[in-house]
Amino acid sequence: MTIVKIDPLTRIEGHLKIETVMDTNTDSKFKEKFRVREARSTGLMFRGVEVLLQGRDPMDAQHIVQRICGVCPIAHGIASCMAQEVAYRTEATANGRLIQNLILVSDYIHSCFTHFYLLAALDFVNVKAILEYKGNDPKISGLKQWAQQELKDNRISPVAPFLPRYEGDYIENVDVNISLLAHYVQAFDMRALAYKMGCVFGGKMPHTMSLLPTGANVNVRVDDILSAKTKLEELITFINQVYLPDVALLAKSYPQYFKIGKGPEAFLCAGVFRESNYDMYIKPGVVINGALEEFNQEMITEDVRFSYYSSRSKMHPFESETKADPYKQGAYSWLKAPRYKRKAMQVGPAARLLVQYARKNNHEMCQLSDKLLEEIGGKPGDLNSAMGRHLARAVECKFIAERAMQWLDQLNPKEPSAKDFDLPETGIGYGCLEAPRGTLGHWLKIKNYVIENYQCVVPTTWNCSPRDDDGQPSAVEQSLEGTLVADAENPIEVGRVVRSFDPCIACSVH
Ligand code: NFE
Ligand code: MG
């Protein structure tokens, strides 16, 4: 038995520790020496945003909750607006919904580029190939000079994650490595462009001041529509010509990763991008062992047996509490353990796409996914894997970016972007939607015109939670069980599986 800890596993986005117990692999079909028997996922810090919301003006909530994260703040802001709309007994205006969708798309695109190029691809790309770069792009030459210096000094990189790194089966083709590194560099500008598109309506990113219940506090102007379109066109070109082909190339280079990192056959999707007050572009749904059901937020509970909280366990988020207990016996994570009908669910782009398949919705998205899967001899079920999550994320990114062009056309400069509402003395509301990394819900209770309780259940809380009260491991913990590892000193396979979920611990503990 070998115990392997990776701490921190995350490259940004908070501190996640993964602890695995490995046995010797006895299956001679595989050359790897180790096999993960079980895994524990640990969020290493406490945040307390739910606590600091208590007693505050509910109308500030959409701004405060955005501080949960610098990567997916818009989803938090919109979840809060939706919860407030329910509590105030009002709903979003057409322009308001569209503006919220557009700022959220900007955040999704930014998140996809960040995750793929900056956080995940480096588990596959051989960064040392940059030393063989012979072209004259100044940015890539700069990267080469920097890498030369790093290697010369044998230094722990001040700009991790390039070096140090685990040794493993990186891409061997020098040209492919250099091309992916060039796109890594280009991705910085594209991330900025994605945010600039969001700034047209959001004013600033990542934390926008534009969101409010019923919509947004900016008027629609024709020049803004044109400005956003120009930026979005460039982003769509990058997605179609660079990002999606790079992900497809990686998928073909590592087809075995469609069989590695399989999580529970339990997929949750709350739906996202409001097309009307009753319909969303990505449709909600739940698929458990192949059976489709409607998404119902009443089925969500949060367990804390293995979490550093003395709060009551198995509570619905309206009744949940956040009472930190850092010395709790038996606890091993600051994440709570959300469950849907008592099941550990998998959330994120693969779960969303599998729900769209089950609902026979977004036909073109499913068709492209089928086509890319066919190229490696795969099926939709293979999306439930380390590489499947990358593929699903890139396919979705293309379609939401293209759909956003139509939302820009639907904006109406003659109509308002929000409407008046009254703050009630008491009220309750919830808002559920899909953040880039999966299902997000906010639950709000108002008493005496202030927030009495505010609870968030967040994508990474679903994926990376500790075990629940019944001992059931989370999606990430389950997806690591059985993973073969060539070298326990260089557990690159574990990193690849966990990073396919794009865990954000800042979000998940909130
Ligand atoms: Ni901090 Fe987040 C997303 C949310 S993940 S990135 O996407 O909500 O837990
Ligand atoms: Mg919470």
Pocket test for ligand 1, best of 16, 111, 507, 509 (most atoms within 8 A of CB): 507
Structure tokens at 91: 């709903």
Do residue 307 and residue 275 come from a single domain?
yes
Do residue 136 and residue 246 come from a single domain?
no
- Supply the Cα-derived Rg of the chain in whole angstroms: 22
DSSP code string of 51-94 = HHTTTS-GGGHHHHGGGG-SSSHHHHHHHHHHHHHHHTT----H
pTM for the structure as a whole = 0.96
Q: Is the CB of 507 under 6 A from ligand 1?
A: yes
Do residue 99 and residue 146 come from a single domain?
no
Query: For position 427, which CATH number holds?
Result: 1.10.645.10
Q: Is the CB of 75 under 6 A from ligand 1?
A: yes
DSSP tag of 245: H
CA of 70 to the centre of ligand 1 (A): 9
Do residue 57 and residue 204 come from a single domain?
yes
Do residue 63 and residue 137 come from a single domain?
no
Closest to 345 measured CA to CA, from 410, 414, 269:
269
First CA to last CA across the chain, in angstroms? 35
Do residue 159 and residue 178 come from a single domain?
no
The answer to whether 465 and 263 are in contact (CB under 8 A) is no
Do residue 154 and residue 204 come from a single domain?
no
Q: For atom 6 of ligand 1, which residue has the closest CA?
A: 72
From 135, 153, 169, give the residue that closes a domain: 169
- The count of structural domains within the chain is 2
Do residue 115 and residue 142 come from a single domain?
no
Do residue 361 and residue 504 come from a single domain?
yes
3-state class (DSSP) for residue 202: helix
Task: Point out the ligand nearest to the CA of residue 393.
Answer: 1
Relative to the CA of 463, which ligand 1 atom is closest?
A: 9
Do residue 12 and residue 110 come from a single domain?
yes
- The CA distance from 157 to 430, in Å, is 44
Q: Is the CB of 459 under 6 A from ligand 1?
A: yes
What residues contact 284, with CB distance under 8 A and at least 6 apart?
Answer: 269, 270, 271, 294, 295, 355, 432
Distances (CA, A) of 158 to 113, 189, 269: 22, 21, 38
Q: Is the CB of 437 under 6 A from ligand 1?
A: yes
From 136, 169, 202, give the residue that closes a domain: 169
**pLDDT, one tens digit for every residue, the chain (510 residues):** 999 999 888 877 778 999 999 999 999 999 999 999 999 999 999 999 999 999 999 999 999 999 999 999 999 999 999 999 999 999 999 999 999 999 999 999 999 999 999 999 999 999 888 888 888 888 888 888 887 887 777 765 545 556 678 899 999 999 999 999 999 989 999 999 999 999 999 999 999 999 999 999 999 999 999 999 999 999 999 999 999 999 999 999 999 999 999 999 999 999 999 999 999 999 999 999 999 999 999 999 999 999 999 999 999 999 999 999 999 999 999 999 999 999 999 999 999 999 999 999 999 999 999 999 999 999 999 999 999 999 999 999 999 999 999 999 999 999 999 999 999 999 999 999 999 999 999 999 999 999 999 999 999 999 999 999 999 999 999 999 999 999 999 999 999 999 999 999 999 999
Do residue 155 and residue 211 come from a single domain?
no
Give the residue numbers spanning the domain of 264. Answer: 2-126+170-508
Q: Is the CB of 463 under 6 A from ligand 1?
A: no
From 137, 169, 201, give the residue that closes a domain: 169
CA of 179 to the centre of ligand 2 (A): 41
Do residue 83 and residue 102 come from a single domain?
yes
Structure tokens at 75: 């989803």
